[in-house]
Amino acid sequence: MGWGDAVFTLCATPSGKPAAPHPPEACTTMKLALKPLLVLAMLSTAASAGWAQGANKAEFLDYSTRSLISEEAAKKIMDEAVPQTLWKVYPSTRYVFISQVEGGVTPAGICAVTARVMLMPLTPTAKAVLFRPQKVATTFDAVPSSTPDQCKTTATGKLKEAAASVVAALMK
Contact 123, 130 (CB under 8 A): yes
Check whether 89 has a pLDDT greater than 70.
yes
Taking the C-alpha atoms of residue 64 and residue 100, their distance in angstroms, rounded to an integer, is 5
Q: Can you list the domains of the chain with their CATH numbers? A: 5-54 (no CATH), 58-170 (3.30.160)
The DSSP bridge partners found for residue 122 are 129
pTM score > 0.85 for this model?
A: no
Span 5-22, pLDDT tens digits: 444 455 555 555 555 555
Span 43-73, pLDDT tens digits: 555 444 444 444 445 689 999 999 999 999 9
| Alpha-carbon distances of 128 from 61, 95, 99, 101, rounded to whole Å | 12, 10, 16, 21
